[in-house]
Amino acid sequence: MKSSRQIEQAYRWARERYAEVGVDTEAALATLSGLRVSLHCWQGDDVRGFEGGADAPGGGLAVTGAYPGRARTPDELRQDAEKAFALIPGRHRFNLHAIYGEFGGRKVERNEIGVEHFRGWIDWARRLGIGLDFNPTCFGHRLAADGFTLSHPDRSVRRYWIEHCQRCREIGAAMGRALGTPTVTNVWIPDGMKDTPADRRGPRERLLESLDEVFRKPIPARYNLDAVEGKLFGIGAESYTVGMHEFYLGYAVTRRKLLCLDAGHYHPTESLADKISSVLCYVPGILLHVSRGVRWDSDHVVIVNDDLLAIAQELVRGRYLDRTHLGLDFFDASINRVAAWVIGARSLLRALLFALLEPWPRYQELERAGDYTGRLAWMEEAKNLPFGAVWDYHCLRSGVPVGAAWLEEVRAYEREVLSRRG
Ligand SMILES: C[C@H](O)[C@H](O)[C@@H](O)C(=O)CO
Ligand SMILES: [Mn+2]
């Protein structure tokens, strides 16, 4: 293992090397330190929540694996998240689903939840000095069992889910107000059909109407920001997804909402990165659900691969970081769940640092001059710059383990805490 002195020495050399190509490593680290990644609660317990009841999340979501030690209570989930936060450089956020309220063992209908069920989460976030994000849970419920919620043909079922989403916005606003940082409340619904529908129009028009009802009440942006998330398909909704990308793109553009782009929600050959500069011509901002689909929307843990680097590069080269809310979205129950958070968050931050450290203004100059040979040559040579030394230094300076040293901490936590869970 490298000593602090060696890490600092390597950084000083890397800083000079980057300066030679016009990159200010201190400026890149300052930008990185200001970024917040929203850690999704549902990685900690396989999307089960605390309502009691269902084992599988429903809504076409599938969690595979049986790794021991999942969080079973809000306190366990908070404890696990704190462990993860301690191993990730920077100050981040936590993203809750509505089913993670503290209901005191009582059956609370989703259209009756309120901020009182999230007081424990707000107090915890305040103690940690972090913000919270929020999501209605429109799946894993008797009134979602036939595959429709906000677009349901039955008005009373639609009303139930409208009320649920309205309450979620209020809860999001209360969180944002209490914590002094706006909550992003993201609406995703599973509505769709396994086989070819006879009527594609009806459900979409009903969804549009329901969403307008959900968002009818104005809420100040300093407390709550609304986001909408589309999807290509889900299990059981292979032939038709009511809230597909085009539907929500139009909705976000016309209603000035954040558009949530989930990296697992497109055809595998489509590039999410390429969508960023397109949609940001029209929508005020985006929420990114950083995920990793393997052959389908499999929600694998995020790693630094070409897709992730391309997303980070687009955010940096397009100067979009201030219009982007960063969130993770995956659920892997086949590995240690705390490690999954740490790997995903560190990978996203590493990709962003890589992008921040590229001499991209030079690429853009070469491109403007029509020198595509030079652009390609520089893009390739930049891959050899001493990025790792800067990342290690960032971890050291942020007070988190350098390199794989964090894994030892997770293993100790597994021995002392997770393995004792029944
Ligand atoms: C559990 C989340 O709401 C969910 O992952 C959603 O964001 C999604 O991506 C559904 O496929
Ligand atoms: Mn998502």
Residue type at position 333:
A
- 2 catalytic? Reply is no
| Helix intervals (H) in 25-181 | 25-33, 74-85, 119-128, 155-179
- 231 catalytic? Reply is yes
Give, for ligand 1, the residue of 94, 189, 231, 329 to mutate: max count of ligand atoms closer than 8 Å to Cβ. 329
- Domains of the chain, CATH where assigned: 4-421 (3.20.20.150)
Residues 6+ apart with CB under 8 A from 262: 229, 231, 288, 289, 291, 297, 329
Taking residues 183-206, what's their average pLDDT?
Answer: 98
Say which of 121, 124, 188, 341 is annotated catalytic.
188
| Helix intervals (H) in 357-422 | 360-368, 372-381, 387-398, 405-416
pLDDT for residue 53 is more than 90: no
Distance 376 CA to ligand 2 centre (A): 33
Distance 193 CA to ligand 2 centre (A): 19
Cα(296)–Cα(268) distance, integer angstroms: 7
pLDDT for residue 226 is more than 90: yes
Give, for ligand 1, the residue of 186, 229, 233, 241 to mutate: max count of ligand atoms closer than 8 Å to Cβ. 229
Residues 6+ apart with CB under 8 A from 240: 192, 193, 196, 197, 200
pLDDT in tens, 331-389: 999 999 999 999 999 999 999 999 999 999 999 999 999 999 999 999 999 999 999 99
Distance 329 CA to ligand 2 centre (A): 5
Q: For residues 403 and 98, is the Cβ–Cβ distance under 8 A?
A: no
Higher-pLDDT residue of 53 and 121 is 121
Q: For residues 101 and 132, is the Cβ–Cβ distance under 8 A?
A: no
Cα(289)–Cα(42) distance, integer angstroms: 13
Residue 80 is assigned to a ligand binding site:
no
Q: pTM for this one?
A: 0.98
Residue 265 is assigned to a ligand binding site:
yes
